[in-house]
Amino acid sequence: MLKDNINMICDIAELSSLFEKSSSLDDFLQAAVSVVAYHMQSAVCSIYIYDEKTRMLTLRATQGLSPDAVGKVTLQLGQGLSGLALKELRAIREGRGELSPKFHPVEGIDEEKYQAFLAVPIRRGLTRVGVLTVQDGQPDYFDEKDEQTLKAIAAQLATVIENATLLQALHRRENVTEAKNTPKLIRGRPASGGIGQGKATFIISGRGGSFQLPDGVSKNLTSEDFERAVKQTEQQLKDLQRKADEELSDVAQLIFSAHLLILADDEFSGEIRRKIGTGISPDEAVVELVNHYIAIFSASSNPRLQEKVHDLKDLGHRLLENLIGGDRVRGDYSGRIIIADTLLPSDILKLATEKAEGFIVQGGVTSHNAIICRSLQKPMVMIDPPQMELFSESCDILMDGNQGLIHIQPSNDILKQYEEHRRTLKELERTAPVKGETCTADGTHIQMFANINLLSDLKLASAVRVEGVGLYRSEFPFIIRNAFPSEEEQYLVYSRLVESMQGREVTFRTLDIGGDKVLSYQQAEEANPFLGLRAIRFSLMHKDIFSEQLRAMLRAGVGGNTRIMFPLIASLDDFLEAREVALECMRQLDQQHVPYNRSTKIGIMVELPSAVTLIEDLAHEVDFMSIGTNDLIQYMLAVDRTNDQVSKLYLSHHPAILRAIEHVISVAHSHHKDVSICGDIAMDPRMIPFLLGAGITKLSVPPRCVYEIQQTIAKISMEKAVYTARQMLACSRISEIEEIIGRNSSSQRDVETADL
């Protein structure tokens, strides 16, 4: 029987009117796939429905695949050919689907025998509804006419499916309590990798704002019980502060000071004692006064006081737990996943010190919070505001920070799967042979340096035997504190960094705040902070702060091999002015007879298009340069990578980016200036061949990425890398470059398979 496209469209239109006779949406969808498969004469037809809240596709009906897969097979938006069709809102037709680099095999659905593949998005305007797919065993079975037909069918299905989905959502609202206890999968945005498991704990502005007394509290509590709880709480806080000072000395300065000060304040503890003296039970007195202070702090126009609401709740919880006992008698967050609308960097440090397992935060990915979580090895996932409603207090959560997945009430199968994953990772960490020197397949030495955010990163950096620090982000001691750190405070931090490297090269980047890295004590509203007063612009406007930092860096370099790097240089004038401040600091230290590293090199981050254009002029003046590809891509392509609507346009392999990188490298080499890469592109295995072929022999990456990058480099010959780079630089279209990357990736997989 031949394909009957026109009749098929008519029958699908009839199906729309038959929906009322179906007992459910699933019945209707099953009828639809059966009719499409019959008229299209395809072996398989399937419909996936999209959930905007979880950003996941679920197989809801199929003709031809295993019936058991319905309701169980899920895809992330953009995952596999079906997920890609919906993400990019376009049809995808493949003669042999499994050969596509985007093909995502799913075990147990008997999909392997079908070659030809066609998927079209089901959409209402720009609203994603689902995906309609057909498959067949005969390669190249579907043509352009089939594609147009399937688009027409999808358009007819869209209205019916959307209306039915909305009705189902309405019914679900009536059973929200029951839904809270059912397994769910939420798709968020990964911010910090790792697996976290525990009970949900809310730190949400305006949600559960009042502090409440739990049920079943003993009525026989006395003033002596309260005094015991105060002493116990004070000791816990001092122990936590001591632990933080030992493990996070650069950023943990007095992070529990607010808790201790409130506890010692007579207007707080003293007032609770007075209430107890009037006959109020100790537990009720604590709750009453904590709520009184929460109301005052929340209503304040001072944002610093508003930020203390969490400290109040945390202190109240500790007091109450120590007073009455409970599931967390020690008053920490072990076994807890924090769900928050906003978190300050200091909040993350406190909660991590208190053993929180992971963080789920509303909003876009902020680089400083994500970087802190990575350094603390705590998973973080960002979610959208509507997704907050899917959680309930103390529900079980398993979060995957690597993929941005959150499992609510995870099944035993999911728990077993992740436990096996964690075991495998630990085994790899134990057996991974990290080399002291990184070399290509033909013996070319590639220098491997570390990006350091917190001093706690140094332990792992030492374990993976890096050759130095290629980028120390000096802003974190500034971001965490509630005031600018002094020269002496900075000197102590920088000195520990230099000492730990034992003569190996250390590159300090001067203060890089602005954009999404904001100081809570230096708040200035800007319409577009990424184009505002950030990085070197801030330093040059506040030369007193800049000079203190430079003096601390220069002094810390005594006996070491140190360099100072200025971020966001836009002109030769920027660099010369900043260098002059550094030279003036040297003159001051000479006059004061204060030792410093007189051999300190001065360089720049190349991360603006203007710096690329002026690189010849800059190369005459600088001692070295490091290409910061994260900002370079953002500014050259005018793309905010944290914006989901345009994030797919943020491409490290864009022709303009590749040519800019190659140009900077070429100029640096011609002037005999050291050049390195310290952006995310340096930890992308697909881009390593290009970087090496373009002339990069020095990479700076997070310590956790060193082993993987070493393994990638060891399989690359310089001859092949140079050839690949030349091919990519000759391309003027993104698709051409992606084809080269795809071929190289396939070739690399073949090599790895052969090695096995």
Using the structure block, give the residue that is written with the tokens 């999911």. 414
Question: Distance between CA 577 and CA 574 in Å, rounded?
Answer: 5
Please say if 678 is a catalytic residue.
Answer: yes
Question: Distance between CA 641 and CA 461 in Å, rounded?
Answer: 28
Strands 561-566 and 601-606: parallel
- Find the angle CA(296)-CA(299)-CA(302) to the nearest 5 degrees: 100
Q: For residue 565, give the H/E element and its range.
A: strand 561-566
E-strand ranges in 653-729 read 674-677, 698-701
* Catalytic residue chosen out of the listed positions 45, 373, 585, 678: 678
- Find the angle CA(599)-CA(453)-CA(650) to the nearest 5 degrees: 105
Q: Is residue 291 classed exposed, middle or buried when 0-12, 13-18 and 19+ CB atoms within 10 A define those classes?
A: middle
Question: Distance between CA 254 and CA 236 in Å, rounded?
Answer: 14
Q: What is the DSSP string of 364-407?
A: SPPHHHHHHHHHHT--EEEE-GGGGGG--TT-EEEEETTTTEEE
**For the chain, how many helices (H) and strands (E)?**
28, 23
| In contact, 197 and 394? CB cutoff 8 Å | no
- Find the angle CA(637)-CA(640)-CA(646) to the nearest 5 degrees: 85
Length of the chain: 756
- Non-local (6+) Cβ contacts of 347 within 8 A are 203, 310, 340
- From residue 696, how far is each of 29, 278, 282, 636, 737 by CA, in Å? 54, 74, 66, 21, 19
| In contact, 399 and 379? CB cutoff 8 Å | yes
Question: Distance between CA 508 and CA 628 in Å, rounded?
Answer: 14
| In contact, 79 and 71? CB cutoff 8 Å | no
- Supply 720's token pair: 């092949």
Q: What is the DSSP letter of 20?
A: G
Helix residue ranges per DSSP H, 502-644: 536-541, 543-556, 572-591, 609-613, 615-621, 629-637
| In contact, 362 and 225? CB cutoff 8 Å | no
Q: Is residue 380 classed exposed, middle or buried when 0-12, 13-18 and 19+ CB atoms within 10 A define those classes?
A: buried
Which among 457, 471, 504, 447 is positioned nearest to 699, based on CA atoms? 447
Question: Distance between CA 26 and CA 675 in Å, rounded?
Answer: 59
How much is the CA Rg of the chain, to the nearest whole Å? 29
Tell me, what amino acid is at 562? T
- From residue 329, how far is each of 200, 233, 332, 613 by CA, in Å? 17, 10, 8, 61
E-strand ranges in 79-150 read 92-94, 116-124, 127-136
- Supply 718's token pair: 């310089």
| In contact, 506 and 544? CB cutoff 8 Å | no
Please say if 368 is a catalytic residue.
Answer: yes
Three-state SS letters, 294-360: HHHHHHCCCHHHHHCHHHHHHHHHHHHHHHHCCCCCCCCCCCEEEEECCCCHHHHHHHHHCCCCEEE
Question: Distance between CA 21 and CA 29 in Å, rounded?
Answer: 12
* Catalytic residue chosen out of the listed positions 310, 368, 407, 653: 368
> Which amino acids are annotated catalytic?
368, 678
